[in-house]
């Protein structure tokens, strides 16, 4: 399965369809994906039991649709606790098929060798940051974006728990800020659905919905509904 080139960051709003269970992975096809999203995320951490041991990649039938690979760490939302070596090995095995790769900002030092390989292959990667308890301060978000920028990430993704309307507007204002790196922002929790539309309007370069029947983050839209709603909105910046 060859890699599919994916222009990133694209001037158009990009919708990511996230796959977190084996059934959804098996049931999707390039045609079905094209009707729901612009790139499909394969959550390797959630699919670790299906991960190939020398066999064919379980996502091979999705070619030539562009694929984003993520192996999330437990401290940033994965229900399984995979060590950094295991996660790096999974991402390395997926690299020949990857159009885009996600690595947590906190994992950058431990994954420096893998990042060098990703860069040598010419594959863009995003640095991500998640807080399931609160919205971090503007200073903390800017600091994490700076880490991503200095490490050579193509974009910085921030997902955070939103509890108040002030949190919602603060996240949108951060999205509209010039951080020196393209930003992808989204909320989690009760305000997640509206935040994902607002942040897309504010210029978020990646906007995540789920594929199949199981959300991969609290408050996600389905990818199809998210894309339909985003396309009905006008950008505000």
Q: Is the peptide bond before 69 cis (omega within 30 degrees of 0)?
A: no
- Distance, in Å, from the CA atom of 185 to the CA atom of 94, rounded to the nearest integer, reads 25
Residue 9 belongs to a domain: no
The pLDDT of residue 236:
84
Is the pLDDT assigned to residue 68 strictly greater than 70? yes
Beta strands in 52-104 (DSSP E): 67-70, 100-104
Residue range 219-236: mean pLDDT, rounded? 92
Q: Among 19, 77, 17, 79, which residue's Cα sits nearest to residue 43?
A: 19
Residue 237 lies in a domain: no
Q: What is the mean pLDDT of residues 8-36?
A: 91
**Residue 2 domain flag:** no
Residue 184 lies in a domain: yes
- Cβ burial of 202 (10 Å; 0-12, 13-18, 19+) is buried
Domain for residue 214, yes or no? yes
Sign of the CA dihedral 15, 21, 22, 23?
negative
pLDDT tens, 166-203?
999 999 999 999 999 999 999 999 999 999 999 999 99
How many independent structural domains does the chain possess? 1
Query: What is the rounded distance in angstroms from the CA atom of residue 183 to the CA atom of residue 177?
Result: 9
Task: Evaluate whether residue 158 is within a structural domain.
Answer: yes
- Say if 194 falls within a structural domain: yes
CATH of the domain at 169: 3.20.20.70
Pick from 151, 78, 87: nearest CA to 119: 151
Structural domain containing residue 185: 14-231
pLDDT at 29 over 80: yes
Predicted confidence (pLDDT) per residue in 87-114, tens digit: 999 999 999 999 999 999 999 999 999 9
**What is the arithmetic mean of pLDDT over 137-145?**
98
With a cut of 90, say whether residue 217 has pLDDT above it: no
Question: For position 49, what pLDDT does the model report?
Answer: 80
* 52 band by pLDDT with thresholds 50, 70 and 90: low
In a domain, 219, yes or no: yes
Question: What digits encode the pLDDT tens for the residues 120-132?
Answer: 999 999 999 999 9
Higher model confidence: residue 8 or residue 121? 121
């Amino acid at each position: 399965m060859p890699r599919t080139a994916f222009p990133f960051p694209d001037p158009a709003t990009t919708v990511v369809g996230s796959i977190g269970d084996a059934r959804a992975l098996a049931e999707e096809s390039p045609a079905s994906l094209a009707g729901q999203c612009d790139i499909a995320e394969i959550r390797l951490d959630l699919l670790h039991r299906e991960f190939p041991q020398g066999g064919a990649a379980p996502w091979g039938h999705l070619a030539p649709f562009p694929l984003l690979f993520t192996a999330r760490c437990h401290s940033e939302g994965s229900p399984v606790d995979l060590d950094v070596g295991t996660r790096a090995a999974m991402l390395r095995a997926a690299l020949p098929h990857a159009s885009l790769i996600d690595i947590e900002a906190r994992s950058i030092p431990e994954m420096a060798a893998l990042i060098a390989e990703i860069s040598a292959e010419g594959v863009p990667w995003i640095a991500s940051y998640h807080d399931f308890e609160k919205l971090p301060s503007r200073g903390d978000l800017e600091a994490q974006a700076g880490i991503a920028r200095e490490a050579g990430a193509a974009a910085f993704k921030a997902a955070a728990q939103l509890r108040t309307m002030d949190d919602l507007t603060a996240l949108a204002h951060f999205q509209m800020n010039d951080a020196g790196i393209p930003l992808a922002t989204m909320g989690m929790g009760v305000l997640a659905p509206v935040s994902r539309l607002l942040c897309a309007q504010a210029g978020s370069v990646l906007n995540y919905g789920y594929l199949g029947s199981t959300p991969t983050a609290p408050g996600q839209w389905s990818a199809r509904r998210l894309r339909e709603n985003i396309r009905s909105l006008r950008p505000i910046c």
